[in-house]
Amino acid sequence: MAKLSLRNISKRFGDTQVIHDFSADVDNGEFLVLLGASGSGKSTLLRIIAGLTDASAGDVIFDNLRVNRQSPRERDVAFVFQSYALYPHLTVRENIAFPLALDRFKTWHHIPGISAIARRIFGSSKDIAEQVAGVSSMLELDEYANRKPGGLSGGQRQRVALARALIRNPSMFLLDEPLSNLDAKLRAELRGEIVRLHKLTGKTFVYVTHDQVEAMTMATQIVILHNGIVQQHATPQEIYTRPANTYVARFIGSPP
């Protein structure tokens, strides 16, 4: 059974159509990479999967259930962005715990002075502390638990963002160019880290990038997008050895 099905998704912004009749099935546990140049519609598609943007037409289906009208939280997805989007006033530990605390105290985000309240709850809840410790050690963040994001490197910040995504045990991970702000060495390191997380959790990952190397080394399946139109949907090996058209061949750099 497909974990995720996208059926005839189109998206317009005003007069401009940016996604053209996109359909794909993603099996449970797949690592799907949406690969394409800047402006090809990758982020828009990911946001439609997440429930952050409505499609103009078509259906988003999770586990055979149409989720078009469900919020990101109801869809039970975790999102990791290019910018780390951490709370600067909370420590690493508190940042990681935040989604769990939000689940428990759904009205928190309306309360001013949230960080003071957050600290008290994080400090007092043993099961939250244990879960945070678990994902922190998985991502080798233990020694930074009490630091604020301002005192971390880019790679460490992105590890915190991954830990925070992991902690709610979501049904699906959606990542939008999470490594783009990092230097080449860190990018390679974190690539391995994310692949390890995928293997460890066995969850479905949808990963957006414009980087062919990331796609080829991380994906189990790749969708290549160009101007909102699918050029090919296949395994990395198939795409490399049998590119569907000259656009794909040139983009991937396959042998002629």
231 near ligand ADP, rule: CB under 6 A: no
Q: Which of residues 32-51 bind Mg ion (CB under 5 A)?
A: 43
Instruction: Determine if 243 is a binding residue for ligand ADP (CB under 6 A).
Output: no
226 binds ligand ADP (CB under 6 A): no
Give yes or no for residue 58 binding ligand ADP (CB under 6 A). no
Rounded-to-integer distance, Cα 154 and Cα 179, Å: 9
Selected binder of ligand ADP within 5, 40, 136, 158 (CB under 6 A): 40
CB of 6 to ligand ADP, least distance (A): 14
Rounded Cα distance between 255 and 121, Å, is: 57
What CA–CA distance (Å, rounded) separates 21 from 181? Answer: 31
CA distance 142 to 147: 10
Residue among 51 and 149 whose Cβ is closer to ligand ADP: 51
Q: Which of 3, 31, 43, 80 binds ligand ADP (CB under 6 A)?
A: 43
Part of the chain binding ligand ADP (CB under 6 A), chosen from 39-47, 84-92, 98-106, 142-150: 39-47
State the minimum distance, in angstroms, from the CB of residue 137 to ligand ADP: 33
Residue 73 φ then ψ, to 5°: -65, -45
38 lies in the site for ligand ADP, by CB under 6 A? yes
Q: How far is the CB of 180 from ligand ADP (least distance, A)?
A: 11
Q: Which residues form the interface with ligand ADP (CB under 6 A)? A: 13, 18, 36, 38-44
Q: Which residues form the interface with Mg ion (CB under 5 A)? A: 43
